[in-house]
A and B are shown apart, each in its own frame.
Chain A
Amino acid sequence: MVLKLSDYKTEVHNDWCPGCGDFGIVNAIQMALAEMNIPKHKAAIFSGIGCSGKTSHFINTYGVHTLHGRVLTFAQGAKIANPEMTIVAAGGDGDGLGIGAGHFVAAGRRNVDLTYIIFDNGVYGLTKGQASPTLKLGEKTKSLPTPNTNYNVNPIGLAVASGFTFVARGYSYDVRHLKDLIIAAINHKGLAFLDVLQPCPTYNDINTRDWYAGTEPTDDSAIQTHARLYKLEDTGYDPVVHYSEEAELNEKLSQALIKSLEWGDKIPLGIFYKNEIITEYGRRLADKIPNYLENPPVMQKISSNGKPITDISKLLDSLQV
């Protein structure tokens, strides 16, 4: 059965602020699922807490709205138990890089085959605009009493350093490009990270839609405005690790790190790094449990007529005196 975009939408009332960047991300996820024609029951959206946490309720697949910072833990558990599911995890930058930063790093090391999207807007919106981990040092968004005293996290750099095997950045107002990135992320065999720049129209009065477009009003008429965002794919940038060679791997990692530092006048979008040579977690499990992929936890028969069918007699024999 071919599914339409509308099949992936729920009727739940969306209470995000008018003009919120989150809308574009939800649309892009729905478009990606429709284009890939993933059966609704074979996909699950896991989300964290905050405005972005509500994402799972707007998408007509399994939806698991978890806890602040913990979305990756729930999502990985589900994927490992049922590898047939297409799993997309979503959360804010405070969720994933503040309270959940430990899980972010650990997830990278594991490389479970799922997609993690961070709605990156520099503020904690739902609690009225406090500084979040991606806000730059010294910046003072609208509702901050004083400028931010913390240095910012570099999400792309952290993902690359943590072992994520697909690292990309999208922009919530470029929905088609974002949709393509989400499809690439889902198709990637391993843990994919998408940093999505998502202006918060209510609390982030610095990184606004106009600012990204380079058309923000300025007092200095001498400054020529230009779009800050550009696409890596338009520059001939090759993010892919092609060979199992340390030299190439290091080059691709370094290149991604260097690119991740670009900010201000030129902000790259697109795929920074992609490595399918590093095995995803399910394959690693299959190395020690040979039939894991054919017979994962969710497939296993555990009883027959209400009686257990696991045979531990050999183990008990070894304890017999």
Chain B
Amino acid sequence: MANVDISWQIGGPQGSGVETAANIFSRVCARAGYQVFGKREFYSNIKGEHSYFTVRVSDKKIHSNVNDVTVMVAFDAETIFRHADELVSGGAIIYDSDIENIETKDVHTLDAYFRSRLHKYLDTKKKNYTVSGLLDLIKENGVNLYPVSFRGILDGLAKDTNNPKLKGMIRMFNVLGVSISLGLLHMSSKQLFESIELIFGKKQKIAEINKQLANYAYNYATAKFPNFKHSLAEISKQSDTILIQGHQGTAFGKMICGCRFQAYYPITPASDESVFLESHEILEINEDRPGSTVVIQTEDEISAIGMTIGSALTGTRSSTSTSGPGFSLMSESLGWAGINEVPVVITLYQRSGPSTGLPTRHGQEDLMFAINAGHGEFPKIVYASGDIEESFYDTSKCFNFSDIFQVPVIHMMDKFLASSVVTCKRLDPTKLKIERGKLLDKIDTNDYKRFAHTEDGISPRSKLGLENGIFWNTGDESDEFGHITEDPVVRLQMMDKRLSRFSQILKDIPKEDQVVSSGTQEYTIVSWGSTKGPILDAIDMLKKENINVGFLQIKLLYPFPTDLVKSFLKNVKTIIDIEANATGQLGLLLKQNLGREIDHHVLKYTGRAMTCTEIYDSIKKILANKEQKKVILTHGA
């Protein structure tokens, strides 16, 4: 059968149920056997500003979004103004026919910058500044228009069910939009009803009304729009597939690996993880009484990391989760954890900076900051996950690294990952190990020294409450007991002891956990973190044209695996660095550590995540014009 690759988008004011609609759509497609990649974009706002969700559906494994939209649902004018031109020829827009005459000036959330760009564009196309103007334009481009009176449907349903209350329930426009989409795409209605049941499960009455509406709207679409060329018929489902949200990978990782304390201060896009942990704070433990994750909402991020360190000193696996602004506040305590060799994990969900930046938008701008955070010199690990599935396994590894090397670990995540919803293979906890390094459970002698010099530079670790294990900690330089010293000889010994951790880390972390190579080629992409998805998809697209491009995903970023990366890159002629920042921070690291210039940069810092289409286009551009040093990506509203 032909490949299915459809991109569905729904937009609307924040708080209007865009997310629920996307959730239903994603679930229906996943249950029908498809792979799903969804991503949410939203303003820093509670209600009213424009948000949208793009869900890509395919019958093969996908890792990112594309530029083109196949089917769009718009129950407000703003969605059309902002996104209509993303629709592909042969695609479809389902929109509320009541909004056709709305002018750009009527939409107060349409900011002046965008409005003036849109007007200029419409001027060149000689169209009105109205919804109709844009609809005319996309119709000329080959997009199918499906006007539906959303209120009319509610009226019809109200009449059919003899329930006049339904007339005014515009809150259900979201379910209406999804149902019409699925009718248009010839999806089985069974999946739609079951998914609604699942999502509204606990609120039986609401589920029932939504199912009635879904049924009505779905039948309306199949009767009225039977001939849309794209189709999502049920296909055979791969076993053990889950539909997972961005923040759940690290949260599940924390539950499984025994993190029992998390302190956090609310911040986008990190707090979803903490809220999820707290919502499931009581844990089932095999053959033991229930366990729990104690989640503490603190007064600020300074307190969050302070509490995390305090808890870690008791031998409890402990972590905090934050974003750039919060991490900035944590950097002093990070150094304290460093000098006192306290294992803590900081999950850093990056967003666009500097300062508050674009608080709800994506960025990979904190790599250099994470590496350099904290004054003075001390060992730490900076480790980046490339996708949600990886983040589950990596979370567990980060805790192991932290315990084994007795260092703080900064686990790099980002907003792109956090607000994605994807299908992946069911997470498999049996693949994981729990390694606690030199943490002691019992001390029999009375000569314990927390910072005792040992052959490998790592001291056996006691914990608060352990008999015979008394130690002192201090942010000052200290001796083996942990008491303050300013002695130059002890200082040297202690610095060397701590910093010897760097070579230990590079030696002991398995190579496949440091760098993941999908094969190197004459042209090879280097990158880190969430760009992995769109890069893998772009490489697939290029392969279809017999263009082979290599890819190195660097996961261990600090200490930098210089020799390993060097060995991978030794036969590579041209390095293409791809990152969601403006300065090419990984590129700088490569230059600094390998002494090698980056040949081409592909960078994006609009706050919107990369699509595979953009990367594909940029690689083609680079191949066609080798002089092109830098490609800046801009797709996305």
Contacts and interface: CB of A to CB of B under 8 A. Distances in A.
B296 A80 contact: yes
A64 B306 contact: no
A312 B464 contact: no
A73 B432 CA distance: 32
Interface stretch (A20-28, A36-44, A169-177): A36-44
Contacts of B261: 77, 80-81, 297
Given A61-B470, A85-B464, A316-B242, A309 B287 contact: yes
Given A41-B470, A311-B286, 15 more contacts: A41-B465, A41-B468, A62-B464, A64-B310, A66-B336, A70-B302, A73-B302, A81-B314, A306-B434, A308-B256, A308-B257, A308-B432, A316-B242, A316-B426, A321-B241
Q: Which of A46, A74, A80, A84 has the most CB of B within 10 A?
A: A74
A65 interface: yes
Nearest to A110: B296
Interface in A104-118: 105-106
A81 B318 contact: yes
A274 interface: no
Interface residues of A, number: 65
Contacts of B311: 77-78, 80-81, 297
Contacts of B333: 67, 70
B255 to A, nearest CB: 5
Interface of A: 10, 12, 39-42, 44, 46, 49, 54, 56-57, 60-67, 70, 72-82, 84-85, 102-103, 105-106, 285, 288-289, 291-292, 295-298, 300-304, 306-312, 314-316, 319-321
A311 B314 contact: no
Interface of B: 27, 30-31, 237, 240-244, 248, 252, 255-258, 260-261, 263, 280-292, 294, 296, 298-300, 302-318, 332-333, 336, 396, 423, 426-427, 429-430, 432-435, 463-476, 482-484
Contacts of A306: 433-435
Q: Which of A61, A77, A298 has the most CB of B within 10 A?
A: A77
B632 to A, nearest CB: 37
B464 A321 contact: no
Contact of A292 (B292, B298, B318): B292
22 contacts: A56-B474, A57-B484, A65-B472, A65-B473, A66-B336, A67-B475, A73-B304, A77-B311, A79-B310, A81-B260, A81-B294, A81-B310, A85-B314, A106-B303, A297-B292, A298-B463, A306-B435, A307-B434, A310-B258, A315-B280, A319-B426, A320-B426
B470 A40 contact: yes
A65 B466 CA distance: 18
Contact of A307 (B283, B430, B467): B430
Contacts, number: 232
Nearest to A321: B30
Contacts of B310: 46, 64, 73-79, 81
Binding site secondary structure of chain A? mixed
Contact of A316 (B427, B435, B464): B427
A242 to B, nearest CB: 31
Closest 9 CB pairs of A and B: A302-B258, A73-B306, A77-B310, A77-B307, A106-B299, A65-B474, A297-B260, A81-B311, A303-B434
A319 B298 CA distance: 30
A285 B294 contact: yes
A293 B83 CA distance: 54
Nearest to B260: A297
Given A66-B336, A70-B333, A316-B426, A309 B288 contact: yes
Contacts of B289: 291, 295
Contacts of A312: 252, 255-256, 283-284, 427, 429
Nearest to A54: B484
Q: Which of A84, A300, A316 has the most CB of B within 10 A?
A: A300
Nearest to B32: A321
Nearest to A46: B310
A98 B351 CA distance: 31
Nearest to B305: A73
Nearest to B335: A67
Given A289-B294, A321-B31, A298 B241 contact: no
Q: Which of A42, A84, A303 has the most CB of B within 10 A?
A: A303
Nearest to B469: A41
Given A80-B311, A285-B294, A295-B289, A308 B258 contact: yes
